[in-house]
Amino acid sequence: MLSNFNSLTAKQKKVYTAIETYINQNGIPPTVREIGELVGEKTPGAVQGILNRLEQKGVIKRQLGAARSIQLVSSDAQMYVKPAYIPEIKKISKRNITDLTNIYNIEKYHPFSPDFVTENNGYFLFESPVDGLTESGFGANDLILVNSTAEPMSGDIVLVFYENRSLLRYYYPDTDGTLTLKADSSIIDKVRFTPEEVSLIGKVEGRYTRF
């Protein structure tokens, strides 16, 4: 704990402790709304006022305009890195396939460790298609992490778009320029495609199951 922690008022200590606990439990700092919920303060302005005073006293630091930018200025506070926020997109269609992460197609953002992803490197999340790899463990309630800039290798799992349908497939490029896209099971009786028939959206790099 900070050496000057005792100089804080009771309410300031409560907020500081709530921030520290949240970081320890979640690995990222809380938002103003979440702090209010933790300390029972319904007015965002009141929480902002307390944060301003904590910052003036040098016990926290913040980045202007960022929702989760609170850092505890303490030698023994848990160290954490700023997460990368990856968009979850709503749908894939012929109309938006060239601009999947436009603002109107984003459902929400999810925090990820920057050790694994970066915000500006073509990543997005999408509900797992039901046509493709259910036997490989990809269920309808899963989110898949897709890297649209990665170059897939033979045997990688990819997300593709074919005839108004998003599909999960194992990727096998052929020497004649065609693609073999294999599924565990599929209602589409086709495994060999030309580059003009199918759009390769990206390489699947993660799967997250919601119970």
Q: What is the CATH number of the domain that holds 145?
A: 2.10.109.10
Residues 15 and 65 in one domain: yes
**Domain identity same for 117 and 64:** no
Indicate whether 32 and 113 sit together in one domain.
no
Of 190, 41, 159, which is closest to residue 92 (Cα–Cα)?
159
Categorize the per-residue pLDDT at 77 as very low, low, confident or very high, splitting at 50, 70 and 90.
Answer: very low
Best CA proximity match to 208, nearest among 112, 118, 84, 81: 112
What DSSP state is assigned to residue 5?
Answer: G
pLDDT tens-digit readout, 49-73: 999 999 988 888 888 777 788 888 8
Q: What is the pLDDT of residue 140?
A: 82
What CATH number does the domain containing 35 carry? 1.10.10.10
- pLDDT tens per residue across span 7-51: 888 889 889 988 988 888 887 889 999 999 988 888 889 999 999
Same domain, 180 and 118: yes
Which residues pair with residue 110 across a beta bridge? 86
Q: Which domain holds residue 64?
A: 5-72
Q: How many domains does the chain have?
A: 2
| 186 within some domain | yes
